[in-house]
Structure 1
């Protein structure tokens, strides 16, 4: 009788253990190439208790030619109202990030960036000149909290703050100021100058060889910086779909709806009639962006958990406030390593 009881106990324990393994296998997993979102999406995933992750991203963003609302515009139309118009603005950004999970439900994230930007200009008199700026931007601190993770699906929220470590007083020489430097327009500044709140909620789902996700994010700015203005709020909705083609490779497609508010206030050192980028009426807009990319994941060996991601993105539609440079291509390349 005692042997029967022991056998029944062992069988029940094995069944419970098997069920636990089965339930565990249903959880969303980061241990696959599509276990992370496209590389351009931030705060998309969490980590298990005690895990660390360090990341580096390089982003190239280009703005070129002019747009008024949703229609293309010419430099002649801009120079009818302003003394100077920009014609091109490439930006390079290097982002360093770190994540640590003190528990299975909480992940802490920090991110810093270094930017370099150029802006080419055309004057009403037909002259050309370029301004340049580079330096560190704002530092972001965030906490991610997991609400649930089961049935191959996961939902987590993000509460973050952006610290105004980037400058809003960058200067360079222009033909009107030579040989002295003058303060540069709003798009050429390195930071926001305000303490900004970063809120997001992210949904993730995956099956055997396919994954999908969505993220709703808002960057809310309050008060004014030392130059008596604040940049507009940003609201975005990202959705993506990825296919795992091998244990180490996946391909993704992403669609983003983005709303950027106008600049509030006005920098007293900038003349809004000089160049279109110093007029706050020419800021913000609505965008629909699309991107395609891939993720590479090392599942085993000395480089286990190393990732490389790439994405090429471009606007599908943009409706700009006033007259502004058009958004063009954005290229993001990054690597992530967790342990």
Structure 2
């Protein structure tokens, strides 16, 4: 991973170079301020006016590469000594989500978010495990899963709305509509992390604060995902997840804003164990190799049409990169990510 100092410098250079020409400019508030929505990677960030609908689409992509233990890279020999005969090389995870919102009142907005998941992992054989003194690459393996994921149902409740402060809470459920019985080519259950859903009913909650001044906006959000069941139909449950994020955005033009964001997440390992046939040959086959602490930064743009056919149509793009991580056990390290949101309210 690149150094923390280098990564923290990028957001500063990005915002300075883009915002400087407009720093002293002033204009009336546009009808659809682009900075009024959070960066594309933040969900549950805004409410709507009574009777308003919003239809949206979200896409997320994360890439993983290189095996780490804790905060240090782990070599092939270390994996062999730990008893593994397969080494993950890379993984790509993609999410496609519909974002449907309806405002029952000015203080309550309902949300429905069905999703589709796609995951692909490459692995390589590294020999016979314990005591192996060198790598014995005997062939690459690649496998994937895809299908309907879990479905989110939530309500966003306004707590405060003044000139300088907006505060709302989100309370929702993640319904276990995604499969947890996906199997590999050999008929065994695939890695825990490549199942399409959690398999449990999960409680989703968040608290979101936003504010702004002229062209500048900022916000922060605390969130949690808590499994409501001890195990799913396959005998396990993912760990609790807690998150915190903060962002700021600057309106460069009536139709464009740029943003920088920091995020932190803490996730527990897996509870329980597969009840069906499964492997133990690679790190993602074992429950202790999940969860940890992660921090990342994101750079983004929000675009919104101000007139004509696309008036009110919003497009958000955000690129994410890991700042630091402390992984439980052996895991593929998170690298870059991309978030996209497209929405229209009426």
TM-score > 0.5, shorter chain as reference: yes
Match of 1:240 in 2: 247
Aligned-residue RMSD, C-alpha:
1.5
Match of 2:49 in 1: 48
Deviating more after overlay: 256-265 vs 147-156: 147-156
Match of 1:140 in 2: 152
- Cα 1:133–1:273 change in 2 (3 A) is closer
- Cα 1:118–1:30 change in 2 (3 A) is farther
Match of 2:109 in 1: 107
Deviation of 1:299 after TM superposition, in Å, equals 2.3
Instruction: Please show how residues 56-71 of structure 1 align to structure 2 within 5 Å.
Output: 56-71=57-72
Counterpart Cα distance in 1 of 2:126 and 2:276: 21
Counterpart Cα distance in 2 of 1:268 and 1:69: 28
Alignment length (residue pairs): 306
Q: Does 1:93 align with 2:99?
A: no
For the 8 Å contact 1:90–1:117, the answer to whether it is kept is yes
CA deviation map 1:1-36 (0-9, x unaligned): xxxxxxxxxxxxxxxxxxxxxxxxxxx999310110
CA deviation map 1:28-71 (0-9, x unaligned): 99931011000110010000001111111111110111100011
The one of 326, 332, 339 aligned to 2:339: 332
Q: Secondary structure at the match of 1:46?
A: coil
Counterpart Cα distance in 2 of 1:305 and 1:116: 30
Counterpart Cα distance in 1 of 2:309 and 2:165: 29
- Cα 1:298–1:324 change in 2 (3 A) is same
Counterpart Cα distance in 1 of 2:161 and 2:30: 9
Match of 2:121 in 1: 119
Match of 1:36 in 2: 37
Counterpart Cα distance in 2 of 1:272 and 1:218: 31
The one of 288, 293, 311 aligned to 1:281: 288
For the 8 Å contact 2:188–2:279, the answer to whether it is kept is no
CA deviation map 1:102-153 (0-9, x unaligned): 1000000010111111111111232211111100100000000001111132
Deviation of 1:87 after TM superposition, in Å, equals 1.1
The one of 202, 205, 218 aligned to 1:199: 205
Gaps of 5+ in 2: 1-28, 128-136
Counterpart Cα distance in 1 of 2:77 and 2:118: 28
Counterpart Cα distance in 2 of 1:95 and 1:237: 22
For the 8 Å contact 2:59–2:340, the answer to whether it is kept is yes
Gaps of 5+ in 1: 1-27
- Cα 1:30–1:214 change in 2 (3 A) is farther
Deviation of 1:213 after TM superposition, in Å, equals 0.2
Q: Secondary structure at the match of 1:187?
A: helix
Give the alignment's TM-score, normalised by structure 2.
0.86
Give the alignment's TM-score, normalised by structure 1.
0.87
- Cα 1:41–1:30 change in 2 (3 A) is farther
Match of 2:168 in 1: 156
For the 8 Å contact 1:222–1:230, the answer to whether it is kept is no
For the 8 Å contact 2:37–2:45, the answer to whether it is kept is yes
